Structure formats: C-alpha cells, structure tokens
Amino acid sequence: MKIVGKYPTTRLRRIRNSEWMRRLTSENNISIDDLILPIFIRDGKNKVDKIKTMPGVFRYSVDKLSLIMNKAKKMKIPMVAFFPYTPSNKKDKDGSEALNKDNLICRSIKYAKKYYPNIGIMCDVALDPYTSHGHDGVLINNDVDNDKTIKILVKQALLQAEMGCDVLAPSDMMDGRIGEIRKALDKKNFKNISIISYAAKYASNFYGPFRDAVGSTKNLKSNKKSYQMDFRNSNEAFREIGLDIREGADIVMVKPGLPYLDIIKNIKDNFKIPVFAYQVSGEYSLIKFGINKGLIKDEAILESLLAFKRAGASAIITYFALDLAKKLKN
C-alpha cells in the first residue's frame, strides 16, 4: 500500500481532535445486533447461583430464566445461547441425558420459545455437559470415538430442533458431524434451522471458568487435544472451515476469540461467510477481575469486543452482552 501525504501538510491528529470527528471517521463499530448472550441453566426450582470464577454470571433454574430473559428482551439482544449444568447423578459415560426430552436444555428451549418468541435460541450440540468423563463424545480405549459420537450428536440435534431451537451449534469437533446433522435435519423437514459450526475450536487454556459453570472440571481427567485444534496451527483452520461449509454450515465459529483474531480475519477474507467469535469464559474472567481490582478500566470491555469486529466477526458470543448493551443504549 502506498502511503500518501507528508508532514506538516498532512496531520492525522486532525481527524482525532474532537469526539464528533472521531465518531465520523470511525472505521468499525459495534451494536446490540452483534451480541449473543450465553446463559447457564441449572436443575431445581427457585435457584440462582453465583459462579465464583465468573463474577457477574449466574446459573438459573428454568423457572427463574425470566430474570435474565427479561433483560435480554429489554436490551433487544437478538439471540441467547443455553448451556446446562447437569447434576452428577444424570451423567454417564455415553452422555445419555443429552437425549432426554425433559433435560435442562429441552425445558429451557420450550420455556423461551413460549414466552420470548422473538429472541433466537442457540444450543450447543455436544456431549461434554452430560458425560461422566467430561469429554465431548463416547470414549473407546481412552479416546473419543468419532463415528459413534456422531450418531448420538445427530439424535441430540434432532431433539433440540423438535423442541424449537432456532440455531444448532455443534461444538464437539468431530469430523463429518455437520454433514450428518444437516442431512438428518433436512430429512425431518427442519430445513430452516441454521447450523453454526464451531469449526475452528482450539484446545485452549481459556475454557476453565466455563467448565466450572457447567460442572465438568472435576470430571475431565485428561485434555481434548485429540479432537480440538492445536493452538500452534492456522492453516488447519482453513481445512476445517472449508469442510464444514461444504457439509452445510451456515455460519462458522472461532473459539476462543481474542487469541485467534488472525484466524477470524483470514476466514472472513477467504471464505466470505458469516464468522462468529466466542469471547470465552477465561477471556471474560480475566477482564472482569481486572476491572473489579482496578487494574484496568471498564472501557476494556468495548475495546476487546471491537477487536472482533475489526477482525471481521459478524457477531460475538460474550458474557458482557448485557453490560455492553446498557452502555450502547445510554
């Protein structure tokens, strides 16, 4: 790129010297339309739990979902994402609770679609919240079996679709699962249900607080590096994205977010498909604890989220969704 202009005739500070001028010349902006709010669901009645590792984030029993769904409605958040905190006595080696028509996610979907029909509902398709070992699929000889896992994931996806879920988000990183889920959905006439593929999901160190939130930390005795992506790799993401698009993904996800802005940009530039970013629990908690301790200002929230937009993300799953929505409204 050729640089034009020369000091002193060119002074770039002239386009920064007032608030109104900075607004006029801003290259990237974020709106409430860019935000997806994650919500954790727990068993029981009349329950709202604090999550120690995620200050300001709570688990809600289904009958208390209105507390946060009302806020999402008021702030005009376009979509929420449900995640279950499954009781230990409902977990087993195959994650069979994922196929229970009365599980936490199914009940939450039905509740939300009844009382909040204009808010989109996104649900993960994965087994880790339901397995006794904390992995995203069926373990055979201490490794997740790809093809056996897919058979269960297809059933889980169909169940969530039947309950009224708008957007299915396979987050398991099994090879070929997007194609099998898409075929099953179309066969059952769920042609209008979207698939957001966690296509570039890295075996990251930033997931810790989330695993606390869904109760899988103590169950997981090993890592997920045999199926989640190696964080040293970038070209591998292109292969994952390309395959998932070919299999029928409508939108692709990059997870985590901030450490992988280069991946978001490269995918958007090369594939021209909507790319969502997940500002994961570790990113959230580091920023939130930093703000609470006075180490950084709360403007860091907007700064971090704008980085996703600058990289090319169409939307962002973030635990800051309500906080930022309030700021944007004001």
For 250-297, the pLDDT digits (tens) are 999 999 999 999 999 999 999 999 999 999 999 999 999 999 999 999
Q: Verify whether residue 255 is a known catalytic residue.
A: yes
Cβ(195)–Cβ(250) below 8 Å = yes
Could you read off the pLDDT of 86-135 as tens digits, one per residue?
999 999 999 999 999 999 999 999 999 999 999 999 999 999 999 999 89
In this structure, the number of other CB atoms found within 10 A of the CB of residue 76 comes to 14
Catalytic residue among 201, 224, 288, 309: 201
Tokens 């810790």 label which residue? 208
Q: What CA–CA distance (Å, rounded) separates 110 from 114?
A: 6
Whether 277 and 308 have beta carbons less than 8 Å apart is answered as: yes
**Helices and strands: H and E segment counts in the chain:** 11, 12
Structural contact between residues 253 and 166, judged by C-beta atoms closer than 8 angstroms = no
At 127, is the secondary structure helix, strand, or coil?
coil
Q: Which amino acid is at 196?
A: I
The single residue of 64, 255, 268, 309 carrying the catalytic annotation is: 255
* Contact assessment for residue 233 and residue 103, using Cβ atoms and an 8 Å cutoff: no
Question: Token pair for residue 54?
Answer: 């995620």
Name the pLDDT band for 29 (thresholds 50, 70, 90): very high
Domains of the chain with bracketed CATH? 36-329 (3.20.20.70)
Distance from C-alpha of 128 to C-alpha of 95, rounded to nearest angstrom = 7
Residue type, 146: N
Q: Measured in whole angstroms, how far is the alpha carbon of residue 310 from the centre of its chain?
A: 18
* Mean per-residue pLDDT, 65-75: 98
Task: Give, in order, the Cα–Cα distances in Å from 271 to each of 150, 241, 309.
Answer: 26, 8, 16
Cα separation, 89 vs 56, in Å, equals: 27
Q: Would you state the pLDDT for residue 219?
A: 78
Give me the pLDDT at residue 214, please: 85
Residue 150 CA, chain-centre distance (Å), reads 20
pLDDT of 1 over the 80 cut: no
Its pTM stands at 0.94
Hey, what are 22's tokens?
């900075």
Q: How many whole angstroms separate alpha carbon 301 and alpha carbon 288?
A: 9
What tokens were used for 10?
């060119």
Q: Is 167 helix (H, G, I), strand (E, B) or coil?
A: strand
